Amino acid sequence: MPKIDYLRISLIDKCNFRCQYCMPEGAELNYVLNQELLTNQEIISLLQGVFIPLGFTKFRLTGGEPLLRPGLVDLVHEIAQLPETEDLALTTNAFLLKKLAQPLYDAGLKRINISLDSLNAKTFDQIIGNRGGSRWQQTWEGIQQAHQVGFNPLKLNVVIIPGLNDTEVLDLAELSIKRQWHIRFIEFMPIGNPELFGDKAWIDSAYLREQIRQKWGLVESNIKGNGPADVFQIPGAQGTLGFISQMSECFCDRCNRVRLSADGWLRPCLLNETGQIDLKTALRNGQDLAKLQAQINDLLLLKPEINFKERDSGTDGTYSRTMSQIGG
């Protein structure tokens, strides 16, 4: 079991997209009230008083859509300035990134992951649940701005959904050839999407790799990330191709992360809430931070026994809470 030193911090459960794999149509969305969100100062207090003393040095800011969070740039600056912070990253859909890329970079953010599930505007809008004017162009401009500002590596996350974007695998992989971009193909997961997720609504990473191998060839990369991706490269490419295969090749035994939800719940796993801890209530009630450390340490000791496939799911095999509610 790897050292658990990576905390994913959800800043908000709201999002300006409604992606099919994250906030599907028909899902009941009960947003957290603003006063129930952890404040910037509470997040910093938990990092300094609890997580860093337990050995956490890697932090990722997520949502919902974290660019909707008021005070985001200030929070990034505060976390980046902590001497123990070895890695600080953010995951976004990039729709608001064109204006925020430079301020975030200047505040100390150097790594960014962007969700981009299609290069086709019509398909893109279908996946994100958009029924108005296309959001593709503004999203693409946000990605370009992040590249120009200097984010490196710049990662693009692609959830492959059969019948929607599975024909674009080669086009998306090609983005890694002439740019130092890292494309991550993610197997579709059963989260709040019973209508989409059937007996096998996901495509094996091995099948995707074979498509790419037949087109250009594929070799293992010596560039590795902090996460669970198996990383490859097209020969001669500047960037890499990663495959996150949680459905076909469960990687729970390699997981080095825990998740803090926007309303302060610490969870050991994306889809398994065994032993979760309400840190916000404890913090606001003045609980001693040493006691919180002890509780979290117990949870970390339990984590090797927790497997996302042993989650509490619905009868159709899907997990009822949406990704935005969990903290993606």
Token pair belonging to 69: 């969070």
How many C-beta atoms lie closer than 10 Å to residue 217's C-beta?
A: 12
C-alpha to C-alpha distances, 161 to 14, 108, 187, nearest whole angstrom: 23, 34, 8
Distance CA 183, CA 241 (A): 5
SS3 of 327, please?
coil
pLDDT value for 22: 72
The tokens describing 33, both together, are: 């009230």
**Helix, strand, coil fractions of the chain, as percent rounded to 5:** 35, 15, 45
CA distance 93 to 324: 12
DSSP 160: E
Tokens of 137: 């162009």
**Residue 234 contacts residue 177 (beta carbons within 8 Å):** yes
pLDDT of 18 reads 84
Instruction: Tell me how many degrees the CA angle 120-125-128 measures, rounded to the nearest 5.
Output: 120
SS3 42: helix
Rounded CA separation 190/269 (Å): 14
List Cβ neighbours of 267 (8 Å cut-off, separation of 6 or more). 258, 259, 260, 261, 273, 276, 326, 327
Q: Quick check: 319 and 191 in contact, CB under 8 A?
A: yes
Looking at the whole model, is its pTM more than 0.85?
Answer: yes
Place of tokens 């593709």: 136
Element (H, E) at 316: none
Q: Where are the beta strands (DSSP E) in the chain?
A: 6-10, 58-62, 87-92, 111-115, 154-160, 181-187, 219-220, 230-233, 240-244, 257-260, 265-267, 277-278
> Residue 319: its pLDDT value, please?
44
DSSP 91: E
Q: Each residue of 76-88: pLDDT tens digit?
A: 999 999 999 999 9
Domains of the chain: 6-326 (3.20.20.70)
**Residue ranges in the chain whose pLDDT is less than 70:** 1, 23-29, 190-201, 225-227, 248, 250-252, 270-271, 304, 306-328
Q: Using one digit for the tens of pLDDT, what is the confidence trace for 108-138?
A: 999 999 999 999 999 999 999 887 789 999 9
DSSP string, 191-214: BS-TTT--TT-S--HHHHHHHHHH
**How many Cα atoms are found within 13 Å in the side-chain-facing hemisphere of 229?**
25
Report H helices in 163-204: 169-178
